[in-house]
């Protein structure tokens, strides 16, 4: 994917400019890409299964109506030659169309706020990994910030640029880093605290950033799992509100009308 290629290019730039051992850096890169790929595949599998089940259930009214026509030919006459039959067919098709639209929104129509939150979680992981590579290769905190500004995720470049501008104006880097959560989001608070710690005290931060990256990846997986469980519940609503009424109106009601007409 373009995001994976961009991350790979950033890692190569770090190795070229900062040096350092290539093995751990490439291992971190492969771990990150494997995690991202696994999350994408899991989400795609869950969405495909839910989509197939929902579409099959939404097509159930047409299948049931066709079966009723085959078993009871008088129902076909009711559909074609009576006004009530035309109304039943029209109502059934409208309910099926509404169910399809509802299912599509449930599967793919994520809200803008949710998409932004997922993008931030992904970008936090990438930012942590890039900074860990720079610091692990012997780079400084300022060099890590410059790399994030040049090759980091799009959502972090502008806030990092503002922080670097304030640092160049004479404000201490530790003070500037404390502003990162306010400018980039609360997801970066632990990241900023780790950078402040290494800037003020010289504490080894590469291992800490690696642990924070792992926690961010786990958090991203949890969000994906919660979304998948919520999706299965959301898909019950079009079934109850659209598919079942379509079966009743499009197949059961005509069959009852034809049966009552014979008795009378």
Q: CA-CA distance, 96 to 242, in Å (whole number)?
A: 6
Token digits for 136?
A: 């692990």
Statement: residue 2 has pLDDT above 60: no
**Which burial class, exposed, middle or buried, applies to 213 when counting CB atoms under 10 A from its CB (0-12, 13-18, 19+)?**
buried
The upper half-sphere exposure of residue 192, i.e. CA atoms within 13 Å in the direction of its Cβ, equals 21
Handedness of CA 137, 142, 144, 147 (dihedral sign): negative
* CA-based nearest residue to 153, from 35, 43, 19, 2: 2
Statement: residue 26 has pLDDT above 60: yes
Statement: residue 113 has pLDDT above 80: no
pLDDT for 107: 65
Does residue 29 contact residue 11 with C-beta atoms inside 8 Å? yes
Does residue 107 contact residue 59 with C-beta atoms inside 8 Å? no
pTM: 0.56
Tell me the average pLDDT across 10-35: 65
* Strand segments (E) across 42-139: none
Of all residues in the chain, what percent carry a pLDDT higher than 70?
A: 69
Q: How confident is the model at residue 24 (pLDDT cuts 50, 70, 90)?
A: low
Per DSSP, the residues of 15-48 read HHHH---HHHHHHHHHHHHHHHHHHHHHHHHHHH
Q: CA-CA distance, 167 to 9, in Å (whole number)?
A: 27
Q: CA-CA distance, 107 to 122, in Å (whole number)?
A: 20
Handedness of CA 16, 19, 22, 27 (dihedral sign): negative
Write out pLDDT tens, residues 35-67.
666 766 666 666 666 667 777 777 888 888 888
H or E stretch covering 127 = helix 112-136
Write out pLDDT tens, residues 120-129.
777 777 777 7
CA distances 231 to 67, 117, 238, Å, are: 30, 17, 12
For the chain, what is the mean pLDDT?
Answer: 76
Handedness of CA 141, 121, 115, 104 (dihedral sign): positive
């Amino acid at each position: 994917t373009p995001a994976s290629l961009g991350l790979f290019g950033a890692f190569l730039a770090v190795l070229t400019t900062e040096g350092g051992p290539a093995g751990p850096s490439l291992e971190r890169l492969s771990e990150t890409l494997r995690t991202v790929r696994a999350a994408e595949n899991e989400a795609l599998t869950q969405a495909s299964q839910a989509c197939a089940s929902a579409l099959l259930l939404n097509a159930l009214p047409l299948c049931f109506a066709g079966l009723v026509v085959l078993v009871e030919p008088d129902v076909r006459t009711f559909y074609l030659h009576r006004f009530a039959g035309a109304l039943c067919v029209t109502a059934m098709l409208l309910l099926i169309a509404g169910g399809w639209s509802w299912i599509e929104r449930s599967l793919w129509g994520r809200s803008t706020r949710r998409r932004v939150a997922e993008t931030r979680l992904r970008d936090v992981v990438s930012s942590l990994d890039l900074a860990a590579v720079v610091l692990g290769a012997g780079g400084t905190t300022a060099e890590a910030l410059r790399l994030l500004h040049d090759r980091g995720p799009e959502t972090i470049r502008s806030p990092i640029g503002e922080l670097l501008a304030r640092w160049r104006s004479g404000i201490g880097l530790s003070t500037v880093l404390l502003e990162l959560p306010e400018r980039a989001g609360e997801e970066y608070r632990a990241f900023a605290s780790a950078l402040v710690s290494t800037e003020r005290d010289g504490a080894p931060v590469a291992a800490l950033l690696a642990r924070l990256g792992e926690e961010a990846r786990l958090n991203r997986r949890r969000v994906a799992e919660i979304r998948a469980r919520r999706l299965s519940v959301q898909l019950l609503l079009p079934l109850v509100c659209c598919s079942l009424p379509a079966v009743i109106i499009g197949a059961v009601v005509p069959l009852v009308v034809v049966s009552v007409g014979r008795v009378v």
